[in-house]
Structure 1
Amino acid sequence: MFDITLIMLGAGNSTRMQMPTKKQWLYIDDEPLWLYATKNLGKFYTFKEIIIVSNEGDYMSRFAPNYIYVKGGATRQESLKNALSHVKSEYVLVSDIARANIPHELLHKIIQNSDKADCIVPVLNVVDTTYYQNETIEREKIKLIQTPQLSRTKILSKALQSDTLYTDDSSAIRAVGGSIWQIQGDERARKITTYDDLFKISLLPPSKEQFVGTGFDVHEFAKGYDLWLCGEKIEYENGLKAHSDGDVALHALTDAILGAAGLGDIGEHFPDNDPSYKGANSLTLLKTAYEKVQSVGFELVNADITIMAEQPKISKFKAKMQNNIAAALNVMPNRINVKATTTEKLGFVGRKEGIAVIATAGIKYYDWTKK
């Protein structure tokens, strides 16, 4: 058995998918695509190590702590160089997370031919008539390059030191005089690049599982501050003391949504010792946090907020509050519920010293089958 490290590249932003969720975080049943694709290759061969290149490595490590996570770069080449600095094996197999269903036969063929050249690359023939700038060209001379590609680690590392940007490993290795061996590729190793590609390979739809998060926050009343609740400015003798705009209800809701996705809390994402968040609009913070939750594969089911205050009375503002939140999260207002209560004059809330809020949010996997 050859000494091979597997590198899975997945640091892109998936802009061509035109979805709120990055393609590497689309759920296949109950697994994100990046994990599904990695496990698919991992079950066919015992790799020395598996390296995932991503900008969400800390979060990913909660799904598969035994992998190595490396931060991606601005380009594929930079991302691969970052990963190669961790490779200790003679060979490295580089694949794209977006190639989710690489068949066993293809991987076996690649490894079987490892002694033929410095880089083993699967290719597909072009079967349709092909034009280049309005002129037909010989399609027999055109090859479509796929991954995974198996390379000798030292020569690939050397090849990537160039200032020239290469879109695959074989091009870089060829440029430094390395040898390339082409094998027949496989249509099943199709790369997911656009939304329609999701339906050209066999993938299970996301599980219908749901998740719940809770958030709790308090702020004290103080002179010289405005009072904001659920994005609504309320006239009152005092405002809520805070580093941002003090919208205690939105802070609790942001925590609930982040918590449901396992993404920590509002303080981790928007620390109160960061000057850039001084006086920040909490609706903007909520929207930013939700976009992060969406990017890793989730969408909101509903949110329920309970505001605990003796004063001011907010019943007449509830509809506006619900609409403010719904607009920020791009959901229908019926998904948002705002309630108000007192504490029967007990505690700091009862003494009118501040406001407390508890929020609950339900989320589910983003359903990419119904874009």
Structure 2
Amino acid sequence: MLQKHEICLVLMAAGSSTRFQKMLPFEKKVKKQWLRLDSKPLWKKVLEDLMALDIFGEVVVGMDENEILYAQNFCDVKIVAGGKTRTQSLKKILEHVQSPYVFVTDVARWDIDRDLCLKLVSLCKEYDCVVPFISCVDTIYYKDKAINREEVKLIQTPQISQTSKLKIALDKEYTDESTAMLDHNFRVGFVQGSHKMQKLTSLEDLRALVNQGKYSPSENIVTGSGIDIHAFVEKKPMVLGGVTIESPFGFKAHSDGDVLLHALIDALLGAICGGDIGEWFPDTSKNYENIDSKILLEKIRAFVVSVGYEILHVDVSILAQTPKISPYKKQIQEKLAELLYMQKNQINIKATTAEGLGFVGRKEGVCVMVQATLKFIDYREIYASINY
């Protein structure tokens, strides 16, 4: 049996969930690793279940690089950036691994079989790689010929490998560790796997999660607030809420200066505890110089949804002595509904003056405040919709 200091847990959670998201409505394209069990993301549930085995001296989680800072709100383990493919992700993660053995599993195998995991650990010193498999009970055809199902193995994770040999084996793209190890003539041991650890890949695979009954997303509502202020500058178009406003001046800013969209971005980030607009789009970066703020909003909207949230309501307060906002309120409401993939009745626009007081009253700039209300995407509703 391995000692605790000899084995590293690697949780693969950097996937794009392309196949899973393809079947979702656009406004609910959550990544499967961010489906919520109460308020806990699925990847954290898997991580906690594995750490409860108490056999790992080292833990590394691979994440999409855009999710790392956000994911660190949920745990204290090492989280590193993955790559575009599973092999690229694993190679990058292994650069951070010091242990002689590595226990690699995919977050999609969310229902952990404790006994299987411990059995793999007990056998791993006998092989260079030990891997679970499921026997095939159905007739199998390859092209137009039946093949012997007794010789077919459906491979699962977790898989345990000698770290040094796995690093050598990953010299091209592979779908799992055992394939890479066999391809390099390393010893691979096969262990009967567990039907409990089926992979969550498609919406239909939500059946096991939903039918267990003990898992459901929290029904709590979260809110976030955003405020932004921009001074006027001459000879620049004014854009507010994605709408061009007739005005002799625009907003002084590194980007296009859309003060409303900037406040909206901060409100969305505030609701999910995702930082602020300056962290995501620093005004020291040339990448965002004069950028259309609708592009920035779309990046944040997509992120908010991908990590498990649905936007319910947006309330906007515009404080402006000039220009007059009232003629544009309906256009702004319609534009925000378009940008956020929401209905107009979910978006409220208010406008007021500063009664001549302060920098707004002196007609030096505009201030916008936004409140956003969100909830977790309910995968039970999604599953029910495909089984109606």
Range class of TM-score, shorter chain: over 0.9
Per-residue CA deviation, residues 155-195 of structure 1 (Å, 9 max, x unaligned), is: 222222x2x32211112222222211111111111111112
* Structure 1 partner of 2:97: 87
* Structure 1 partner of 2:55: 46
* Structure 1 partner of 2:154: 144
Q: Give the secondary-structure state (helix, strand or coil) at the position aligned to 2:178.
A: helix
**2:192 is the counterpart of 1:189:** no
Count of residue correspondences = 368
Q: How much is the aligned-residue C-alpha RMSD, in angstroms?
A: 1.7
Amino acid corresponding to residue 92 of structure 1 in structure 2: V
* Structure 2 partner of 1:299: 310
**2:17 is the counterpart of 1:6:** no
Is 1:283–1:325's contact at 8 Å kept on the other side of the alignment? Answer: no
* Structure 2 partner of 1:25: 34
Structure with the largest fraction of helix:
2
Amino acid corresponding to residue 246 of structure 1 in structure 2: G
Per-residue CA deviation, residues 21-62 of structure 1 (Å, 9 max, x unaligned), is: 111111122111111111111112331011101122222112
**2:380 is the counterpart of 1:369:** yes
With 73-82 and 331-340 compared, the bigger mean Cα shift is at 73-82
Q: Give the secondary-structure state (helix, strand or coil) at the position aligned to 1:222.
A: strand
Output the TM-score relative to the length of structure 2: 0.90
Equivalent-residue separation in structure 2 for 1:362 and 1:151 (angstroms): 46
Equivalent-residue separation in structure 2 for 1:175 and 1:145 (angstroms): 15
With 2-11 and 109-118 compared, the bigger mean Cα shift is at 109-118
Amino acid corresponding to residue 109 of structure 1 in structure 2: K
**2:229 is the counterpart of 1:218:** yes
**2:289 is the counterpart of 1:281:** no
* Structure 1 partner of 2:330: 319
Is 2:235–2:248's contact at 8 Å kept on the other side of the alignment? Answer: no
With 143-152 and 311-320 compared, the bigger mean Cα shift is at 311-320
* Unpaired segments ≥5 residues, structure 1: none
Per-residue CA deviation, residues 254-307 of structure 1 (Å, 9 max, x unaligned), is: 111122122222222223333343332222321221111112221212111110
* Structure 2 partner of 1:266: 277
Q: Give the secondary-structure state (helix, strand or coil) at the position aligned to 1:87.
A: coil
* Unpaired segments ≥5 residues, structure 2: 383-388
* Cα deviation, residue 153, structure 1: 2.0
Counting aligned pairs with the same residue, the percent is: 43
**2:369 is the counterpart of 1:358:** yes
Q: Give the secondary-structure state (helix, strand or coil) at the position aligned to 1:200.
A: helix
Equivalent-residue separation in structure 1 for 2:17 and 2:342 (angstroms): 23
What pairs with 1:175-186 in structure 2 (closer than 5 Å)? Answer: 175-186=183-194
**2:210 is the counterpart of 1:199:** no
Q: Does the C-alpha gap of structure 1 residues 357 and 172 become closer, same or farther in structure 2, counting only changes over 3 Å? A: same
Equivalent-residue separation in structure 2 for 1:83 and 1:216 (angstroms): 39
* Cα deviation, residue 72, structure 1: 0.7
Per-residue CA deviation, residues 217-261 of structure 1 (Å, 9 max, x unaligned), is: 111122212222212222133322223222211111111112212
With 333-342 and 219-228 compared, the bigger mean Cα shift is at 219-228
Equivalent-residue separation in structure 1 for 2:360 and 2:231 (angstroms): 9
